[in-house]
Amino acid sequence: MDIFPALASVVTDPVLLGWVFLAAIVGMIVGAIPGLTASAAIAMLLPLTFYMEPLPALAFLYVIGKSGRYGGSIAAILFNTPGTAASAATQIDGYPLARQGKASKAMKVATISSVIGDFTGEILLIVGVAWIAAIALKLGPPELFAVYFAAFIVIGSVIGKSITRGLASAALGVLVAMIGLDPISSTERFTFGSFDLTNGISLVPLMIGIFVLGEVFAQIEERGNATEMVRDSDDPAQNGLTWAEYRPCLPHVARSSFIGAFIGMLPGLGSAIAAFVAYGEGKRRATNPAAWGRGSLEGVAAPEAANNAVSGPSMAPLLTLGIPGSTIGAILIGVFLIHGIQIGPTLFLTSRDLVYALFACGLIGIVIYGLIGYYGASIVGRFITRIPTRVLYPLIFLTSFVAAYTSRGNLFDVYVMVVAGFAGWLMRKLDFNPAAFVISFVLTGGAEETFRQALLLSDNGLMIFVTRPVALLFLLVGISVLVARVRSLNRQARAHALGDV
């Protein structure tokens, strides 16, 4: 297999290993800081990768995403504040365990489960991605546009609590992406006579604004909510983890790993949905479901395995179709394009060695954050409590301005970042979805290109999407997901209304 030579090349490259090690630490710390996310860290550090070689740049951000997902569990267990949306499921049982003096035990369970889930997802990605790419090579423009259409519908309708707001967020992302010159006729679109807008909106300042500044504004608004770390017990038996204690978690970890891997392959669903689905399924199958929510080790293991299993498979639609399965994938698209690497089905023909080396870096990154987390998660927690927010958030704020400006050396990008920051803050307050907005922004260029190519191939206009069986199948998948989501929300509303009666 291609992965074994790739592993050998990565292990013998000390510089690359250094970037992977640094990424594992950075991601864990950022993920553990309440209110910050791995997406925010990656968006802020993206300009740094402009000056790096392609593989170290991609590996650095990819491993930050992996360790950041795990790092969220530290905040959830120690501070009762989920470091990421996905770790909110871990918080349900993790914090009660910490209150019982078992914080280190809970974090060890979270670490082992995260590593197993991440390894499972990564292996499935390595085994299946080339096969998916081979199929994708046979898809024409009509089929590819149908895939984009399904992705828009899934992202807009599934992410978040409201279908209407989710679809509106996706539609807004499409509109913003269309600002600039028409790629065929060179006609100005939505520029309002501004010369700066003729080149369109740059991805880097937009993402820094949405994910970093928007989060900083939200944290400033909630600055009165201080976090207090739960201390470990002085009893070594409370802090350690035995095989007998972890063994009942294994069935939940195995099941949740595959749940997370499956959800990861679907564009836009993400680790938060995977974690809560796995938690619900684990509680349903638990031998003692009454213990869940009160401090169950199994209740920590299930969502953590699913959360991290998403990481690898979420790269599959990105690498094979150019469709990001997550916000981290949307940011990685920028790195590929900056370094002149065309993503999509042909990636495995032009840059196969690079792709498998990236997978190898992912596997090594899992081992590194697993070892650091198992033995040092509580140290990371204590380190975070010593960082005063009055220093941390102004520093992030200033770094964001520098990062936005250095991406192209253009002051207009700083203005874009500030506007995007306020937009991201308002989206959070009004329950719109920043992730759906950004992923749709990234997808729009490819969707427009394949749509126009399909119409050029067609003698019957839009009917080409109905007469091609594979294209019709993907269109029906998107519509089916939307219908299923509407019915699910209606059932929840009826159940809630009956509960209030």
Instruction: Report the run of H or E that residue 180 belongs to, with start and end.
Output: strand 180-181
Paired with 188 in beta bridges are 181
Q: What is the pTM of this model?
A: 0.80
Q: How far apart are CA 448 and CA 484, in angstroms?
A: 27
Cβ atoms of residues 27 and 67 within 8 Å: yes
Q: Give the tokens for residue 406.
A: 């250095």
Cα radius of gyration rounded to whole Å, the chain: 22
Give which of 348, 253, 359 is closest to 308, Cα–Cα: 253
Give which of 66, 274, 73 is closest to 158, Cα–Cα: 274
Residues 6 or more apart from 172 whose CB is under 8 A from it? 432, 437, 440
Q: How far apart are CA 206 and CA 142, in angstroms?
A: 30
* Amino acid identity, position 491: R
The total of other beta-carbon atoms located within 10 Å of residue 69's CB is 32
Q: How far apart are CA 360 and CA 208, in angstroms?
A: 28
Q: How far apart are CA 399 and CA 215, in angstroms?
A: 14
Residue 444 to residues 160, 313, 437: CA-CA distances in angstroms? 20, 22, 11
Q: How far apart are CA 226 and CA 124, in angstroms?
A: 41
Residues 6 or more apart from 370 whose CB is under 8 A from it? 111, 112, 114, 115
Q: Is 389 exposed, middle or buried (0-12, 13-18, 19+ CB in 10 A)?
A: middle
Q: pLDDT tens track of the chain, all 501 residues?
A: 578 888 898 889 999 999 999 999 998 888 887 767 777 778 778 878 878 888 999 999 999 989 988 888 888 888 776 666 667 788 888 888 888 888 888 889 999 999 999 999 999 988 888 787 777 777 788 888 888 888 777 776 655 567 778 788 888 888 988 888 887 777 888 888 788 888 888 877 888 888 778 877 877 776 645 455 555 555 555 567 788 888 989 999 999 999 988 888 776 566 777 888 888 888 888 888 888 888 888 989 999 999 899 888 888 888 887 777 677 777 788 788 778 787 777 787 788 888 899 999 999 999 999 999 888 887 887 777 777 767 777 877 887 888 788 767 778 888 988 999 899 889 888 888 787 788 788 778 878 888 888 888 777 777 888 888 888 888 888 788 778 777 776 776 676 665 554
Q: How far apart are CA 93 and CA 288, in angstroms?
A: 14
